[in-house]
Chains A and B, each alone.
Chain A
């Protein structure tokens, strides 16, 4: 079938390199598939009317580049720059592309899914002169019905060829060419010249409006289909079905028409007319996915195309029979399918065949097939032809199966976890909700749910937050919230909502899916827990304050006590010395005065030490990095006289910086040093040095912290020592190991040491043996940045 060559445009003058070959004209023109040709720079040089129809516009020759569509998108809907169109890629790489799917948009914003097949055009010198692209509209292939519709024209041609009249007409010159059968159908002599009016004038007046409506639509989409009565010259009336295609030029003006005409009078008369083209489909298509079959029940002849055989796993050379077909089916589906086919063979069935079954391939793999078809019956009611298509729906079946399984799993899981699920259709505003959702929200099974109602049931204190989350003007892709909802008894319960919004290709939200859980018990529990913690914290705070107060009171008491105790003591001393001036000095009297004085003096020191000890707990001093070397040296200076007097040697080794309160550490060292000097023998030797404390050693003492480094300070003397069994006791307040007569002291010094070390987070211990000297070991924390060595 050839048409008049006016439905494409080209411009040969602009680019010399583009040697436009006449073959391309033909090719483009013959094709009902959209095609266009570009030069080597990608500028569009010519295209056919199918391309115009698909693009919804006629690109300007030599201006538009790579693709004539208004806008293009990748298959997933993301916008695609025209420079990334398949054609552009082919021109860039020199490689042809096959069936690249992109979405094209017309200026009216209609979108079509298309497959692009660009390939390079060469001249005789094998130089690139341009490229040609074939665009297949696959929008309607998305459903099997769509596929059938898309192949409507092909089907018609193939199945009715023998009985069809064909025509071609140039709408500009008004020249029409009729085929032989066309003349016959119209009852015209083959010698007659025909024009558009020849056709129009023969139309039955009653049916003209029908044709006009069909024409109007054809001028939009290029496809002219109608069934009308026609009055022949001999006044006989024939029903005809006309199926035509209108071609347009670049400016969208119709320039030609071609088509087929079928005499359907007999069908009409026999009431066999089938109005819908979809129902008339009896033949399969050239589509890749569909297999076609054609069965002639009267002769038993069964014709399968190769695709059909591939779908059934039957070798292409196999001679098909109905039994071969049945044998290829899954045993479980065989009987059912046979029964359906038997039924279709009867005229009362109506002849429409639509079935799903499984086939078993030689490798034992199973494919799901959907078969559609139509049986035709002769006047005696016997099916003489049964023809249709098969489609592989295995993937779809599996997907459905998976979805079903997932849904079931989700449902089971939701029920088990007491999770309510909901699904809002934003277009209709309808909410689907699971039973658990309804149970939690206390909805009747048939209650109609809405977002507004949900928000109204939210506690006022939570509503602002929830309303902003569910704001229709600003849908969030993922959200969750916890809120109180009103129950039927007027109380509130806590629920947790999780949601996910789905957006379409234009980023408009169309659906929200989500879950809802009753967290009231959980909330109540955690609230109670929080309350308990708060209570405990308050109690602890009170206890702490009480302790601080009592410490302050204690210090106050100690101060007052020491002040008030010192006063009478001072007076005893003063008046006893005044008394000694007024009496006669006898040896006894002097000895008694000495006793009074020494007792008073000792009590004075005792009071001072007790005061000091009580103050240790309540100092506001802050721990700081402190040099032990500096401290020990200043203590040695304090005791210089005593050291000289005792002829003692003090050896000081390496001492690190420690974390501590300087004046307390000073007192600590002073007390230990004074003890060493006090309990010394003839040649006192006192050694003071430090050693690192390993982490393993730290771990041995529960009082020490794992994450802190420590140093060990050793004070070793060669004095009188003590029995090891008293090593603990010596740190107890007022504990003396020696008589007061031989060694002075209050028995508080080492207790003060212990208190100082403990308030530093350290440890103090002593080892000794009578006559062999004593060793005092003090463990103190190192500054955080310092190394343990």
Chain B
């Protein structure tokens, strides 16, 4: 199983407080230690990322439907920052419109995760992602 070395940092960018809470609950269920950093939208996220050179999360979870700067614009901006170029960005959205899936993958998204309707499902998805990346 997993050997615990250091906590995994997940940077969740989502304007929906409920979803942030649900994500945290699901993350807490995972065996590996996880640190969740959150931003309420793209502008906030970019401020946090560029304000601290040492902030290099392991995963970025990005909602699409957000005020000020939406998920796609944020994704494009993140990909412009060299030190973050290799960080997997997972799109975390309610709907899986085929057009959105295609566009974000082209912009360099690592995975497209539709927000599931149960905590259990989300926990499973997150575990799978982290394991995949760790190995």
Residues of A within 8 A of B (CB): 559, 562-563, 566-567, 569-571, 573-575, 577-578, 600, 604
* Given A571-B18, A574-B22, A578-B25; A562-B118 close (CB under 8 Å): no
Q: Is B10 an interface residue (CB 8 A)?
A: no
Contacts of B19 in A (CB 8 A): 571
- Contact present for B118 and A573 (CB under 8 Å): yes
Q: Which of A562, A563, A604 contacts B117 (CB 8 A)?
A: A604
Q: In the complex, A531 Cα to B66 Cα: how many Å?
A: 51
Contacts of A566 in B (CB 8 A): 94-95
- Contact present for A562 and B95 (CB under 8 Å): yes
- Contact present for B117 and A573 (CB under 8 Å): yes
Q: Is B111 an interface residue (CB 8 A)?
A: no
Contacts of B65 in A (CB 8 A): 563
3 interchain residue pairs of minimum CB distance: A573-B117, A563-B95, A570-B117
Q: In the complex, A563 Cα to B99 Cα: how many Å?
A: 14
Q: Is B115 an interface residue (CB 8 A)?
A: yes
Q: Is B97 an interface residue (CB 8 A)?
A: yes
Q: In the complex, A83 Cα to B106 Cα: how many Å?
A: 88
Within 8 A of A (CB), among B96-135: 97, 115-120
- Contact present for B94 and A578 (CB under 8 Å): no
Q: Which residue of A lies closest to B120 (CB)?
A: A577
Q: Which residue of A lies closest to B118 (CB)?
A: A577
Residue among B25, B65, B116, B118 with the highest chain A CB neighbour number at 10 A: B118
Q: Which residue of B lies closest to A563 (CB)?
A: B95
- Contact present for A578 and B119 (CB under 8 Å): yes
Contacts of A567 in B (CB 8 A): 16, 94, 115
Q: In the complex, A575 Cα to B65 Cα: how many Å?
A: 21
Q: Which residue of A lies closest to B22 (CB)?
A: A574
Contacts of A574 in B (CB 8 A): 22, 117-119
Contacts of A570 in B (CB 8 A): 94, 115-117
Min CB distance A208 to B, Å, is 120
Contacts of B117 in A (CB 8 A): 569-570, 573-574, 600, 604
- Contact present for B118 and A559 (CB under 8 Å): no
Q: Which residue of A lies closest to B99 (CB)?
A: A559
| Interface SS, A side | helix
A-B contact pairs, 15 of them (CB 8 A): A562-B95, A563-B94, A563-B95, A567-B16, A567-B115, A570-B116, A571-B19, A571-B22, A573-B118, A574-B117, A574-B118, A575-B18, A578-B25, A578-B119, A600-B117
Q: In the complex, A571 Cα to B18 Cα: how many Å?
A: 8
Min CB distance A117 to B, Å, is 99
Q: In the complex, A755 Cα to B116 Cα: how many Å?
A: 31
Q: In the complex, A569 Cα to B116 Cα: how many Å?
A: 11
Excluding A566-B95, A573-B117, A600-B117, 10 further A-B contacts by CB distance (< 8 Å) are A562-B95, A563-B94, A566-B94, A570-B94, A571-B19, A573-B118, A574-B118, A574-B119, A577-B120, A578-B119
- Contact present for A577 and B94 (CB under 8 Å): no
* 0/1 string, B1-30, CB within 8 A of A gives 1: 000000000000000101100100100000
Contacts of A604 in B (CB 8 A): 117
Q: In the complex, A570 Cα to B96 Cα: how many Å?
A: 14
Contacts of A573 in B (CB 8 A): 117-118
Q: In the complex, A725 Cα to B34 Cα: how many Å?
A: 62
Q: Which residue of A lies closest to B64 (CB)?
A: A563
Q: In the complex, A571 Cα to B65 Cα: how many Å?
A: 16
Q: In the complex, A566 Cα to B93 Cα: how many Å?
A: 11
Min CB distance B23 to A, Å, is 11
Contacts of B97 in A (CB 8 A): 559, 563
Q: In the complex, A165 Cα to B122 Cα: how many Å?
A: 147
Min CB distance A695 to B, Å, is 41
* 0/1 string, B63-104, CB within 8 A of A gives 1: 001000000000000000000000000000011010000000
Residue among B65, B94, B119 with the highest chain A CB neighbour number at 10 A: B94
Min CB distance A291 to B, Å, is 106
Q: In the complex, A569 Cα to B115 Cα: how many Å?
A: 12
Contacts of B18 in A (CB 8 A): 571, 575
Contacts of A559 in B (CB 8 A): 95, 97
Q: In the complex, A570 Cα to B114 Cα: how many Å?
A: 11
